């Protein structure tokens, strides 16, 4: 990695949690300057605009979430265990002190009508996450862990929507209670899928 690439990565790494917490519109270049201890000239010498930083910040956060999800499932021996480990990942992280909410939701809500480039990236990340759930369910059907009647795509859409909604409510209310109910319901559904 060149010095310029390291500097860009450093800026994104420092800016990403701020943007995830304060939003794209709510984060100023001064916030990024303060977090990086760089000058405005140095930040703008590496990025053409704050929008470019936001795009890369989303990519950085989405990649980190994906790696964390993979790590959460790494010890699972069955597809059922993978799904349960994914649910545990969400419930364990929803109220973590350093977690400012799901970047898919945070960036997606803000970009919905205002930033088409970020909206495209968020939509792709949503589909990737739903695809992960569906692939695990399909693998479980193929191995005989889950009933053949299970609709993997429907479960993936429902699970993703319930989890995202649960995280939003938990963050808004400052309590994991409703998220725990949602995760409990999804766990029961997964158990019902088992042969």
> Which pLDDT score is estimated for 96?
73
The per-residue pLDDT of the chain, averaged, comes to: 93
* Separation CA 110–CA 38 (nearest Å): 27
Q: What is the pTM of this model?
A: 0.90
Query: Once rounded to an integer, what is the mean pLDDT over residues 151-167?
Result: 96
Sorted by where each starts, the structural domains of the chain and their CATH numbers stand as: 3-193 (1.10.357.10)
Q: Is the pLDDT of residue 54 over 90?
A: yes
Tell me which of 146 and 94 has the higher pLDDT: 146
Tell me the percentage of the chain whose pLDDT exceeds 70: 98
* Separation CA 117–CA 122 (nearest Å): 9
Q: Is 32 exposed, middle or buried (0-12, 13-18, 19+ CB in 10 A)?
A: buried
């Amino acid at each position: 990695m060149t010095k310029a690439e390291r500097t860009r990565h450093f800026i994104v790494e420092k800016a990403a949690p701020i943007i995830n917490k304060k939003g794209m519109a709510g984060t100023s270049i001064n916030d990024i300057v303060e977090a990086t201890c760089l000058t405005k000239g140095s930040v703008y010498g590496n990025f053409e605009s704050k929008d470019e930083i936001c795009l890369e910040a989303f990519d950085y956060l989405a990649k980190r979430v994906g790696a964390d999800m993979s790590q959460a499932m790494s010890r699972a021996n069955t597809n059922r265990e993978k799904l349960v480990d994914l649910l545990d990942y969400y419930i364990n992280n929803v109220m973590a002190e350093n977690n400012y909410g799901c970047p898919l939701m945070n960036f997606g809500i803000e970009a919905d009508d205002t930033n088409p480039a970020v909206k495209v990236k968020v939509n792709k990340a949503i589909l990737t996450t739903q695809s992960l759930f569906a692939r695990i369910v399909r693998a479980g059907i193929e191995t005989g862990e889950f009933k053949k009647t299970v609709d993997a795509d429907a479960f993936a859409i429902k699970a993703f929507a319930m989890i995202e909604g649960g995280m939003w409510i938990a963050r808004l209310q400052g309590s994991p209670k409703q998220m725990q109910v949602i995760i409990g319901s999804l766990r029961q559904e997964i158990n019902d899928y088992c042969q």
